């Protein structure tokens, strides 16, 4: 069932409020206010989709109410239609310049009121759908299409926020670089389709193992993955890394009619940022993680090495 839209009508004349309520109440949830101050209060206290606002009121004019609505984060995006008996082009020009979306003239004609209100409700619904679609597109653009892990674009967004937070709160920020051992040999032996299945399986193990709220798993590129572990000291990072390494080593990989296994090498580190701008600070940290990963490869693979 579609939720009924809510319209706030602000007018100091009881007769006008009654007339508008009668016209709109069959299709909308109508909230009424008899002054500008009351209208502002109700707009902040209720979920309001559209406001019909009298231009001339004794306490606050419609222009003043609209200006205050636009100053508030909660109400600035609510569309406002002025209701007025004035034919002044200056009033219309000022109202539109302040952000009003339309004018309805008095005396009210029910069909015209319904058509104008309906048009703006329709525009509101179309805009809501567009925003939802954009959010879905944005979310998909941050996910690696093959493995379902976060991608590098997502990492670039997350690391800036997490680095700044760790710097501000003087907390640990842990990270892992994970590389599948001898993945080229795997591809050459079993083919690239099975290589893709291997990447999917490793990603699934990572996301099942690194599942604490606030932790992140990323596909870094190719056969490389990364994990970001906020508020985690080196001891915790090493514990997660070893659990991950052993879980992956124990995971069977289906390759056509054959079962095989792969291992990973992991570079692990943790840092409390100290006054470094996130790009420069992370570059230094990232270089150390790369060296730890390389050391894990040099020391025989299927192992964890920490940043020195």
Per the domain annotation, does 146 fall within a domain? no
Do 24 and 115 belong to one domain? yes
How confident is residue 139, by pLDDT bands cut at 50, 70 and 90?
low
Per the domain annotation, does 27 fall within a domain? yes
Residue 185: the pLDDT is 95
Domain CATH for 80: 3.40.50.2300
Residue 125: the pLDDT is 87
Do 68 and 180 belong to one domain? no
Bond into 245 cis (ω within 30): no
Do 125 and 158 belong to one domain? no
Question: Alpha-carbon distance 148 to 69, whole Å?
Answer: 42
Domain CATH for 207: 3.30.70.270
How confident is residue 68, by pLDDT bands cut at 50, 70 and 90?
very high
Do 195 and 302 belong to one domain? yes
Q: Which residue, 140, 174, 202, sits at the end of a domain?
A: 140
Per the domain annotation, does 145 fall within a domain? no
Residue 278: the pLDDT is 63
Tokens of 82: 């002025």
Do 45 and 163 belong to one domain? no
Mean pLDDT of 182-209: 95
Do 127 and 15 belong to one domain? yes
Mean pLDDT of 171-183: 96
Mean pLDDT of 130-152: 82
The position carrying tokens 């009668």 is 22
From 64, 162, 171, 223, the catalytic residue: 223
Per the domain annotation, does 280 fall within a domain? yes
Q: What confidence tens digit (pLDDT) does each residue in 196-239 have?
A: 999 999 999 999 999 888 999 999 989 999 999 999 999 999 99
Share of the chain above pLDDT 70, in %: 97
Do 281 and 169 belong to one domain? yes
Q: What confidence tens digit (pLDDT) does each residue in 52-64 have?
A: 999 989 889 999 9
Do 86 and 213 belong to one domain? no
Question: Is 1's pLDDT higher than 60?
Answer: no
Per the domain annotation, does 56 fall within a domain? yes
Q: Is 94 a catalytic residue?
A: no
**What is the secondary structure of the chain as a DSSP string?**
-PPPPEEEEE-S-HHHHHHHHHHHTTTSEEEEESSHHHHHHHHHHS--SEEEEES--SSS-HHHHHHHHHHSTTTTTS-EEEEES---HHHHHHHHHHT--EEEESSP-HHHHHHHHHHHHHHHHHHHHHHHHHHHHHHHHTB-TTT-SB-HHHHHHHHHHHHHHHHHHT--EEEEEEEETTHHHHHHHH-HHHHHHHHHHHHHHHHHHS-STT-EEEEEETTEEEEEEET--HHHHHHHHHHHHHHHHT--EEETTEEE---EEEEEEEE---S--HHHHHHHHHHHHHHHHHHHHHTTSS-EEE--
Least confident of 109-113, 189-193, 276-280: 276-280
Q: Which residue, 116, 140, 164, sits at the end of a domain?
A: 140
Question: Is 153's pLDDT higher than 60?
Answer: yes
Do 164 and 284 belong to one domain? yes
Do 136 and 184 belong to one domain? no
Tokens of 305: 């090495």
Do 172 and 278 belong to one domain? yes
Residue 142: the pLDDT is 86
Q: Which residue, 115, 140, 165, sits at the end of a domain?
A: 140
Question: Alpha-carbon distance 29 to 9, whole Å?
Answer: 11
Residue 2: the pLDDT is 58
Residue 114: the pLDDT is 92
User: Which domain range does residue 282 map to?
Assistant: 152-306
Q: Computed from CA positions of residues 257, 225, 216, 246, in that sequence, does the dihedral angle turn out positive or negative?
A: positive
Number of domains, the chain: 2
């Amino acid at each position: 069932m579609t939720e009924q839209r809510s319209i706030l009508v602000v007018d100091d004349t009881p007769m006008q409020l009654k007339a508008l309520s009668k016209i709109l109440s069959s299709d909308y949830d109508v909230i009424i206010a008899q002054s500008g101050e009351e209208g502002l209060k109700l707009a902040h206290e209720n979920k309001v989709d559209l406001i019909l606002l009298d231009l001339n009121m004794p306490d606050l004019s419609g222009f003043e109410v609209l200006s205050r609505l636009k100053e508030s984060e909660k109400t600035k995006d609510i569309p406002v239609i002025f209701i007025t008996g004035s034919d002044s082009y200056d009033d219309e020009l000022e109202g539109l310049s302040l952000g009003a979306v339309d004018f309805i003239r008095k005396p009210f004609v029910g069909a015209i009121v319904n058509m104008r209100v309906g048009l703006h409700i329709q525009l509101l619904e179309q805009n809501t759908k567009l925003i939802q679609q954009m959010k879905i597109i944005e979310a998909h653009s941050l996910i690696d299409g093959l493995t379902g892990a976060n991608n590098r674009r997502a990492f670039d967004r997350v690391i800036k926020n997490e680095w700044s937070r760790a710097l501000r709160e003087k907390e640990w920020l842990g990270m892992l670089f994970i590389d599948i051992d001898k993945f080229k040999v795997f591809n050459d032996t079993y083919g690239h389709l099975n290589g893709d299945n291997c990447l999917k399986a490793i990603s699934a193990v990572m996301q099942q193992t690194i599942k604490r709220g606030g932790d992140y798993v990323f596909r870094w590129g190719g056969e490389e993955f990364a994990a970001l572990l906020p508020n985690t000291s080196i001891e915790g990072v090493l514990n997660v890394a070893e659990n991950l390494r052993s879980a992956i080593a124990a995971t069977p990989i289906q390759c056509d009619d054959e079962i095989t296994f792969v291992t990973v090498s992991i570079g692990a580190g943790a840092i409390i940022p100290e006054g470094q701008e996130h790009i420069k600070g992370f570059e230094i940290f990232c270089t150390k993680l790369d060296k730890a990963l390389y050391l894990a490869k040099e020391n025989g693979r299927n192992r964890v090495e920490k940043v020195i």
